Amino acid sequence: MLFRQLEYFVAVAEERHFARAAEKCYVSQPALSAAIAKLERELDVTLIKRGRSFEGLTPEGERLLVWAKRIIAEHDAFRAEVRAMRSGVLGTLRLGAIPTASTTSSLVLSAFCSAHPLAKVQLRSQLATTDLYRRLRGFELDAAIVPVGQEETHGLDVVPLYVDRYVLIAPADMLPTDASTMRWPEAAQLPLALLTPDMRVRQIIDKAFAGHGITVSPHVETDSVSTLLAQATSGDRACIVPQTWLWANLMAADLRAVELVDPVLKTQIAVAANSTGPGSPVARAFVESAQKLKLDEFFAKRLGSIYRH
């Protein structure tokens, strides 16, 4: 079995098309097909369902795909390890982050890039939490900034970053004068703009309302936190966001933020990386940078004034 055969096989599985896979691998389609056919003969199994075109993987093919991705990831990690021993941490960190951590991720990246100036970063910040965990386990991401779930983090290295709370942002005339907190039932009475139901933050918010027997029907739903703030700025909507999202975003003078209580929701946000094998040097370096941060203290200082806005 040749390493190149595994690369061809993974490309076909991901592209679901032989010609596109061949183009991705910079090889002719006949050469790619012949290599995969040889792999099947060597393993004595059928890996790909074939008709006039790609029709999916066989059960044996699905199982090999998991192993092939792991082998390729380990191969790439070893090559990066050798380069790092010679020149320091190089390569590109493939980082994912939930949309509500799109601003806080910059704090971790700043520390990482300062310590490793030769490394590069590709940040994906519009993926759902479940997709981030799936891509971590599939070796499509090196690390991700995610909310911590006990079952979701199995088999992953997890470094806590900070604990998030939730705030309601609204035009000042929608809120009681001088109030710094608001109960969830009171928030439900306001015209709301919220994240879409498929997003983890929205699911946490819905659960808080459900604890009071309330099902909310927001006027506006979006997958963009920036759009939520814009809705509040327009003067006719209130929105609910994690408070740490505000550290890098200025609110308009006529907006106020109040902490939501009864209950006070807390979500642990962490850096997660695949714990299978030694991992890539760039991923290990990123996790080490995250371990040195004290973001809870940072946010306590920066965000203490938002409720007095």
Please report the pLDDT score of residue 309 as a whole number. Answer: 47
User: Residue ranges per domain, the chain?
Assistant: 3-73, 89-161+270-294, 163-266
Please report the pLDDT score of residue 83 as a whole number. Answer: 60
Q: What is the CATH class of 3-73? A: mainly alpha
CA distance 98 to 293: 19
Please report the pLDDT score of residue 144 as a whole number. Answer: 94
Residue 102's Cα: distance from chain center in Å? Answer: 9
Please report the pLDDT score of residue 154 as a whole number. Answer: 80
CA distance 52 to 28: 18
Please report the pLDDT score of residue 167 as a whole number. Answer: 93
Task: Note whether 89-161+270-294 and 163-266 share their fold.
Answer: yes
CA angle at 128 for the pair 123 and 132, rounded to the nearest 5°: 60
The topology (CATH level 3) of 89-161+270-294 is: D-Maltodextrin-Binding Protein; domain 2 (3.40.190)
Q: What is the mean pLDDT of each run of 10 residues along the chain (309 residues)?
A: 82 88 89 88 88 82 85 72 58 89 87 87 88 88 87 83 92 87 95 92 94 93 88 88 81 83 92 76 87 88 64
